[in-house]
Amino acid sequence: MTRFLRLCKIVFVILYYGLDELVLSGFKSRRIRFLVRVITIGRKLDMPRGERLRLALTRLGPIFVKFGQVLSTRRDLMPADIADELAKLQDQVPPFDPVVAVKIIERSLGRPLATLFESFDHQPVASASIAQVHFATLKGGSGHGREVAVKVLRPGMLPVIDSDLALMRDLATWLERFWADGKRLKPREVVAEFDKYLHDELDLMIEAANCSQLRRNFNDTRLLLVPEVFWDFCSSEVFVMERMHGVPISRTEALKAAGVDMHKLAEEGVEIFFTQVFRDGFFHADMHPGNILVSVAPQTLGRYIALDFGIVGALSEFDKNYLAQNFIAFFRRDYHRVALLHVESGWVPSDTRVEELESAVRACCEPYFDKPLREISLGMVLMRLFQTSRRFNVEIQPQLVLLQKTLLNIEGLGRQLDPDLDLWKTAKPFLEKWMHEQVGWKGAWERLQVEAPQWAKMLPDFPRLAHQFLERRTLVDNGHQERLLGTLIAEQRRTNRLIATALLLAGGFLAGIVVTELLSLGGYL
């Protein structure tokens, strides 16, 4: 019943804001245009289409807001008026009552607000689908006097998200059961991955831990600034971090006026992404413009500042190596290697003809090389690759869905910062260097250092373990030899019986012949 009521609300919102008209009006068919006029009778749809879409997504809740955030970064796919409106979903979702925010803070941290902060700005500086942020100044402890950002979880988010995820699971089940590509696309596994990340986002302690990990990963580089976490002021509903000063990355004119090198900024954005994915296997997976600032302070001019760590992705060593080899093969236009990697990984059936897959991948990617971002679209490349994957029964990898989403966000950002950026040439040197470090002496030495403590622990036990292994092997070998000898003896006895029987039969046959001959000679005599 809960799912049914939620579905009814979704349909009501779609009709109320005229999203059906918005979709159908894009068709040129006269019949469809006539249908649009019929279905809009009696409905007042005088607001601009972008505003209608934004308000509808906001009213439907966090999952729909996140969908709008992703669309807002794709100005190559969205009309400008719609993209501008959807960009407001990044940090301008209507806030909830600050009085409620204060009550959540005091309940979660177990102390009155006045004992926690010297000052607290009740007007939120940013409000998104899951939480809103207030600026404050810490009181007491090691962080006394520090400017901080206080993130407070929206109340009542869990029931809405659970209801939407239940609908998505039902839809995924139907797709898998009735759609020809259902099993190959693994919709239920994709929804399960989405479920995990959304529920992680509802626990701000997990977000704080993600922030701390990302800060540690980039401590020794000049690529990315990540806020410090104040753990004494964190809970599942409240996350207090260092306040970061910068200009939103979407304000390109302000960045240029501050003296930021936009081409360098775009290149470093690509490097940050690949560093997170391939060096660390841990990446920020919600990189829309509302979550990224750029420092304009003299000492850190042009450095990225990351915010909002609710959704992060993680990759296994196998996934990292496989993806790196695929990217390098793409950049080198070695499509045969790409096809082989897909077969070796088991992503396509083992009986796939490598030459056919190679030709299909070449047709997808070759037209886009040696072109700046303004002339290509990874969205279109992925669409063509999707069509190819359908032809060759490529299995979708749910663990890489977040990575694909993030890659599209990165491309959208790069397109805004420097449309002339050559994404391939920028990424290729980094990946080749990373692969060299992984398979060369440096990578072997680093892996040896990681494994050394475990080997040091096992080394004193090695003689005893080796003795036990050899002793068991000897017993096994002896038992095997005894069984083998018994089998040979039994086989020899059977063979002897067969030979004896054969000799008796042969002897009897010869004796019969001799007797017959003697009787014949007696008759002649």
What is the DSSP annotation of 262-311?
HHHHHHHHHHHHHIIIIIISEEES---GGGEEE--SGGGTT-EEE---S-
Report yes or no on 274 lying in a domain.
Answer: no
Boundary of a domain, candidates 208, 239, 257: 257
111 and 21 assigned to the same domain: no
Report yes or no on 268 lying in a domain.
Answer: no
Report yes or no on 300 lying in a domain.
Answer: no
Give the count of beta carbons closer than 10 Å to the beta carbon of residue 164: 20
433 and 347 assigned to the same domain: yes
Boundary of a domain, candidates 439, 472, 500: 439
Going from the C-alpha of 148 to that of each of 116, 203, 460, 522, the distances in angstroms are 12, 19, 51, 130
102 and 246 assigned to the same domain: yes
- Where in the sequence is the domain holding 7, given as residue range(s)? 2-88
Report yes or no on 269 lying in a domain.
Answer: no
Strands (E) across 59-155 are located at 117-120, 126-127, 131-138, 147-153
Report yes or no on 278 lying in a domain.
Answer: no
Closest by Cα among 121, 418, 159, 129 to 265: 418
Report the domain count for the chain: 4
SS3 call for 229:
strand
What does the block give as tokens for 113?
A: 């607000």
What does the block give as tokens for 456?
A: 């040091």
| DSSP structure class, residue 40 | T
146 and 222 assigned to the same domain: yes
Report yes or no on 287 lying in a domain.
Answer: no
416 and 488 assigned to the same domain: no
325 and 403 assigned to the same domain: yes
* Residue 421 backbone class (left: φ over 0; alpha: ψ -120 to 50; beta: rest): beta
155 and 245 assigned to the same domain: yes
Give the chain's end-to-end CA distance (angstroms, integer): 115
The catalytic site residues sit at: 286
404 and 469 assigned to the same domain: no
105 and 51 assigned to the same domain: no
Boundary of a domain, candidates 405, 439, 473: 439
SS3 call for 92:
strand
281 close to 315: Cβ distance less than 8 angstroms: yes
Q: What is the pLDDT along the chain (525 residues), one digit of tens a residue?
A: 666 777 788 788 878 877 777 766 666 677 776 676 666 666 777 788 888 888 888 887 777 777 777 667 666 556 778 878 887 777 677 888 999 999 999 999 999 999 999 999 999 998 887 889 999 999 876 778 899 999 999 888 888 777 777 777 777 787 777 666 566 556 677 677 667 767 778 899 999 999 999 999 998 888 899 999 999 999 999 999 999 999 998 888 999 999 999 988 988 888 888 888 888 889 888 877 778 999 999 999 999 999 989 888 888 877 777 777 777 787 778 888 888 887 777 767 777 888 888 888 888 777 776 666 566 665 556 556 656 666 777 665 655 667 777 777 777 777 778 877 776 677 777 777 777 776 556 656 666 666 667 666 666 766 776 666 666 656 555 555 556 556 656 655 665 555 555 555 555 544 454 444 444 444 433
Angle, alpha carbons 472-474-479 (nearest 5°): 95
- How far is Cα 73 from Cα 78, in angstroms, rounded to an integer? 9
SS3 call for 152:
strand
Report yes or no on 511 lying in a domain.
Answer: yes
Closest by Cα among 361, 364, 362, 332 to 429: 332
Report yes or no on 281 lying in a domain.
Answer: no
Identity of the residue numbered 175: L
109 and 211 assigned to the same domain: yes
114 and 245 assigned to the same domain: yes
167 and 54 assigned to the same domain: no
